[in-house]
Structure 1
Amino acid sequence: MYILGINAYHGDSSACIYKDGQLIAASEEERFRRIKHWAGFPIEAIRFCLQEAEISIEEIDHIAISRDPKANLGKKALTALKNRLNLSNVINRVKNLKKAASIEEEFIEHFNLKAGELKAKFHNVEHHRSHLASAFFASPFEESALLSIDGFGDFTSTMTGLGKGNKIEVLETVSYPHSVGVFYTTFTQWLGFPHYGDEYKVMGLAPYGQPTHLEQLRKVIKFKDNGLFELDLKYFNHPSKGVNMVWEGGIPAMDSLYSEALLNEFGPARKADEPLSQDHKDWATSVQRITEELIYHLLTHLQQKTGSDAVCIAGGVAQNSVANGKILLKTPFKKVYIPPAGHDAGTCIGAALWVYNQLLDQPRTAPMLHGYLGSRFSNENIEELLKQKNISYQKLEGEALFSKVTDCLINAGVVGWFQGRAEFGPRALGHRSIIADPRREDAKEILNTKIKRRESFRPFAPSILKQHIPHYFEQVDDVPFMEKVFLIKEEQRAKIPAVTHVDGTGRLQSVEQSIEPKYYGLINNFYEKTGVPILLNTSFNENEPIVNTPEEALNCFLRTKMDMLVLEDIVIER
């Protein structure tokens, strides 16, 4: 049985394919289109998945779409009428819904099919049910509390549930117009970060300030006694005016979410080129802190309601790694699972698993222990490319390769590391990474100014050999997807300044030999030579989606000031 899962006409559109419950491949459309957060119909990702499965579209049995245009339809119409929403916004939303409702026509058109050639049965799976399924059915837990939390999807912002075996029971929802994702995005825009997906910048800025505006924000987002929340809607545009969204043909975009009331009470929005003041930093701290408090409020209530000691979390807000790192400290839960693609791209996996487990009643398969599900290339592919471009290289294997790379890192080098299958999800996990020596005081500056060209306040992540976590971090946990931030032990911070954020934390990635032997081998070689079992890891890109092909990696290497590029076993030096 083949199931194709897709996230279409929404940010981070994506596709995945399952064969008899086993995940064969998954990728975001942005990796092929080279436009961040690309939204629309993920035809290139679909073609990639079919190619990896070595089948045609006619052989697919089920197509699962992580969106249900019929969900909450009455609420949508009532809200539009009640608030007399802007006509152009309503028309745009209707057009988007029509496209989402006519997915079958898209397949027929893109694959040039005739009537009857597409045998697949189509399933529309509501957005948050897809999120819940992407976390629970991929987790190692037989039973777990569930939380999906983001901006909006199918008119809902938050959904809780309980997973048992191969079934999910939905417990509670928070619907439009109330949303913690919208709350965070609104203040992200107000702080001068207007682009879709900029919320991580506020999270990175937060450690530079103090939570001096917490009490003011308690007027904006209110915690309810039932464990849920609501917004004071006067501070937001979306309930009364609607917000124009652009979901296709490129980068998703939206109008400003903050209202005149917010500007009148909290001051003018920061301009994108305006220097960051201490007050801006204090606002970032306050927004991050109250968001953390709300997440723990939701989770504490959920644990009391379900009695479960484990929780699975997905949704855009579940990408807040700072909040994630404190869940076991701040709530009664003892175990937590967050998938590698907890954001909207991961809903393609959730929709497919909802169909396989929930609807078709099939038993669950092995948990998702890694996110290496994307494109891959052989040494032969790479050598052919380099010969065409007349670029000299060296081919090394095993310890000889690791030693060569380690020596470059120790000598202040920056290395592009391109290995195996691309990661599915927003974070590079040692397959499409730029790596550096975490001991260097100047590593952040080198990476930010010469390669990444991004804001100086944003941190870099430590990839650490799993068994060494207790020696470097205050908490001991498996963090394979770089999904949690932990405090670095005070006595270790001076050893690894390049991956220690201003507040003494690091967003770690635990690396296990059985799961990722090559990246483990490189870090272990660095450990043997330096005594530090950690590498600085950042995504292999330069203000673009993470590189997907050897040619894209080579181009990034050539236009930046990286010192070495490693494509599988092929080494290129300046």
Structure 2
Amino acid sequence: MSLILGLNAFHGDASACILRDGVMIAAAEEERFRRIKHWAGFPSEAVRYCLQAAGANLSDVDHIALNQDGRANLARKVAFTLKQRPEMALVLERLRNKHERAGAADHLARAFPDAKFKGRVHAVEHHIAHLSSAFHVSPFEEAVVVSVDGFGDFASAAWGVGRGTRIEVEGRVHFPHSLGIFYQAITQFIGFPHYGDEYKVMGLAPYGQPTYLDAMRRIVRLLPTGAFELDLDYFRHHREKIDYQWEDGSPHVGSLFSDRLASLLGPARAGDEPLEQRHKDIARSAQAMYEEAFFHLLNALHSKHRLSAVALSGGCAMNSVANGKVTVRSPFSSLYVQSAAGDAGGAIGAALSVWHDLGGARGEVHTHAYWGPSFDAGEVDALIDSRAASIEAAGCRVERLDDAALFEQTAAAIARGEVVGWFQGRMEWGPRALGNRSILGDPRRGDMKDILNLKIKRRESFRPFAPSVLREAVPDWFELDGDVPFMMQVYPIRMERRATIAAVTHVDGTGRLQTVTAAANPRYHALITAFHKLTGVPMVLNTSFNENEPVVCTPVEALDCFLRTRMDRLVMGNLVLSRTQPHA
């Protein structure tokens, strides 16, 4: 028996996973335990959970796979330093980070003083881990594989072909050129400064027009090979020390764009300034530029290899709008994006890369993302008993229902316009709530977005909510058909259906769907089926179970979120808390 612990450490979205003989046992992001979004550092609590789930201790682990390798692309690093002569502070900062990241075994020893790791530590190049995380859990025996992100191990993109257990890397884009840095810089320029805010630009883009696309083409240049490069005059990251924070807390990235960008796009927006049409147009233009570069690469790869399938990874693979167009704007007919396509997913990719390098066979396709902690009915009951006074004070009643009544009554509550916290089974792996740690609403109500933002989410009005739809109903409601189990693709909603599901239809007529099957999540499928039977609509509105925090992990966090917000109903397993006077 072989145990491999995969780690994404010392970076945003720190995470861990564990494989037994190549089979996934558990995976989780550190933020879910630390309760700090995108937590960066060493994922000791995620490791603790993974070991517990595997029934193992640290001394049982045979291999640790870390999704970074300081030796990767070394010649490129030396050549860049000699040619570009960046600020000495930038060089020293990178050397310091490399030193800090070298001691994974030391961090484990401090976190687990009662157990000694006796195995081997493997450094896996960042983009190799990304490529493995996509291809080796996909349904494809052969596929083009692409990783695009900000940076990792001095590269921002890599691509090649996966066959069986092997991936042949054919090309890379190296520092300082990066589509991820381009998109992040524009995100900062529009006034969204936090790590991970790129999805706000994606949500804002449909409200604008691509009037700045010619300007964007001056920033990003497409190369005949399918690759891309930046006009570095518009950026700072290649010559100055950027204020990065990757250790033991919320990650932070300082300003990436130079003053020259304002001469091209006008003044940058401060975060407290109102969003103007110009900002929306910049967002739309940046998204259009990203798509031009993305499809330029995909089309070049298809032309070379003539394969029908592509697997995507890296932070840019979180761009669900572009992903949804793959089968329309490229010749690829099949697409797979795993549930944690960003850096968290590198933990899985590193572990699988080591497994296959050791001669291991391919494992099961990842058709679901439920790799996190679960809690049994006894734990939920004990919590409710211990908090009886506060539950009563909040005007809530508690009841236990059998499955049939639970699905029927919850579907009816959603149809009445109630907002329901849905806490079931194992927590999701990746950034999306996929029906186990979700807040649910009626997709038919045009005012549901406002209701959710008023009662719970308190987020920007332009950000859309997503539909979870029965897999078999997709072609009847969307213009494209396909499996989208991880909410990683945006599809156009059929014109005649848009008014019916106004709450999940974005301003451009699209929806970021999640397809739900009985095999992957029988309880969530049963709930949506009950809602379909009641309303004729085979989907519910789904958003993450949180309130400006990481997605809830434990029953305590679910209950606390329910009590401090204006949520109407909380379902944990078969236990239901409902307010005697639901909020209007």
Q: Judge same fold: TM > 0.5, yes or no.
A: yes
Q: Deviations over 1:43-83 (max 9, x none)?
A: 00000000000011000111100010121234334434544
| Bigger mean CA deviation after superposition, 436-445 or 264-273 | 264-273
| Bigger mean CA deviation after superposition, 540-549 or 390-399 | 390-399
Q: Which runs of 4+ in 1 moved over 4 A?
A: none
Matches within 5 A, 1:442-457: 442-457=447-462
Displacement of 1:95: 2.0
Aligned match of 2:349? 350
Distance 1:135 1:522 in 2: 30
Q: Secondary structure at the match of 1:393?
A: strand
Matches within 5 A, 1:39-78: 39-78=40-79
1:133–1:351 contact (8 Å) kept in structure 2:
yes
Displacement of 1:25: 0.2
Q: Deviations over 1:104-137 (max 9, x none)?
A: 11122221158xx422111000000000000001
The residue type paired with residue 493 of structure 2 is: I
Q: Secondary structure at the match of 1:218?
A: helix
Distance 1:216 1:401 in 2: 54
Displacement of 1:347: 0.3
2:89–2:241 contact (8 Å) kept in structure 1:
no
Aligned match of 2:582? none
Aligned match of 1:380? 378
Displacement of 1:449: 2.0
Distance 2:179 2:171 in 1: 15
Aligned match of 2:301? 302
Aligned match of 1:273? 272
Q: Deviations over 1:329-384 (max 9, x none)?
A: 11111111110111100000000000011x11211011111000001001110010
Match of 2:564 among 531, 536, 559: 559
Q: Secondary structure at the match of 2:311?
A: strand
Distance 2:172 2:530 in 1: 49
Displacement of 1:312: 0.6
Aligned match of 1:397? 402
Matches within 5 A, 1:206-221: 206-221=205-220
Q: Does 1:188 align with 2:187?
A: yes
Displacement of 1:460: 0.3
Matches within 5 A, 1:121-160: 121-160=120-159
Distance 2:73 2:387 in 1: 55
Displacement of 1:398: 1.2
Q: Secondary structure at the match of 1:426?
A: coil
Aligned match of 1:427? 432
Distance 1:207 1:347 in 2: 30
Q: Secondary structure at the match of 2:511?
A: strand
Displacement of 1:262: 1.0
2:93–2:241 contact (8 Å) kept in structure 1:
no
2:312–2:341 contact (8 Å) kept in structure 1:
yes
Matches within 5 A, 1:229-240: 229-240=228-239
Aligned match of 1:479? 484
Match of 2:464 among 419, 442, 459: 459
2:146–2:160 contact (8 Å) kept in structure 1:
yes
Aligned match of 2:394? none
Aligned match of 1:490? 495
Distance 1:27 1:399 in 2: 31
Distance 1:289 1:516 in 2: 35
2:17–2:47 contact (8 Å) kept in structure 1:
yes
Matches within 5 A, 1:159-178: 159-178=158-177
Q: Secondary structure at the match of 1:49?
A: helix
Aligned match of 2:535? 530
Q: Secondary structure at the match of 1:340?
A: coil
Match of 1:518 among 523, 531, 541: 523
Q: Secondary structure at the match of 1:108?
A: helix
Q: Secondary structure at the match of 2:332?
A: coil
Q: Deviations over 1:412-470 (max 9, x none)?
A: 10000000000000100000000000011110001112200100000000000111111
Distance 1:111 1:530 in 2: 52
Distance 1:254 1:245 in 2: 5
Matches within 5 A, 1:397-416: 397-416=402-421
Q: Secondary structure at the match of 2:229?
A: strand
Q: Deviations over 1:390-411 (max 9, x none)?
A: 1351111211001111121122
The residue type paired with residue 54 of structure 1 is: G
The residue type paired with residue 134 of structure 1 is: S
Distance 1:400 1:39 in 2: 42
1:92–1:244 contact (8 Å) kept in structure 2:
no
Distance 2:417 2:570 in 1: 14
Q: Secondary structure at the match of 1:386?
A: helix
Percent identity over the alignment is 52
1:89–1:244 contact (8 Å) kept in structure 2:
no
1:7–1:65 contact (8 Å) kept in structure 2:
yes
Distance 1:242 1:292 in 2: 29
1:83–1:241 contact (8 Å) kept in structure 2:
no
User: Alignment length, in residue pairs?
Assistant: 571
Distance 2:176 2:96 in 1: 21
Aligned match of 2:13? 12
The residue type paired with residue 166 of structure 2 is: K
The residue type paired with residue 150 of structure 2 is: G
1:157–1:176 contact (8 Å) kept in structure 2:
yes
Displacement of 1:522: 0.3
Q: Does 1:93 align with 2:94?
A: yes
Distance 1:310 1:324 in 2: 13
The residue type paired with residue 303 of structure 1 is: H
Q: Secondary structure at the match of 1:3?
A: strand
Aligned match of 1:436? 441
TM-score, normalisation: structure 2: 0.96
Distance 1:225 1:242 in 2: 32
Aligned match of 1:251? 250
Q: Secondary structure at the match of 1:572?
A: strand
Distance 1:99 1:130 in 2: 20
1:68–1:126 contact (8 Å) kept in structure 2:
yes
The residue type paired with residue 217 of structure 1 is: M
2:205–2:280 contact (8 Å) kept in structure 1:
yes
Distance 1:87 1:543 in 2: 38
Distance 2:96 2:74 in 1: 14
The residue type paired with residue 420 of structure 1 is: G
Distance 2:117 2:173 in 1: 37
Distance 1:127 1:397 in 2: 47
Distance 2:93 2:291 in 1: 33
Q: Secondary structure at the match of 2:469?
A: strand
The residue type paired with residue 169 of structure 1 is: E
Displacement of 1:307: 2.1
Aligned match of 1:29? 30
Match of 1:468 among 464, 467, 473: 473
Gaps of 5+ in 1: none
Distance 2:96 2:428 in 1: 32
The residue type paired with residue 491 of structure 1 is: E
Q: Secondary structure at the match of 2:91?
A: helix
Q: Secondary structure at the match of 1:495?
A: coil
TM-score, normalisation: structure 1: 0.98
The residue type paired with residue 308 of structure 1 is: L
Q: Secondary structure at the match of 1:555?
A: helix
2:42–2:248 contact (8 Å) kept in structure 1:
no
| Bigger mean CA deviation after superposition, 410-419 or 257-266 | 257-266
The residue type paired with residue 28 of structure 1 is: E
Distance 2:448 2:264 in 1: 41
The residue type paired with residue 553 of structure 2 is: N
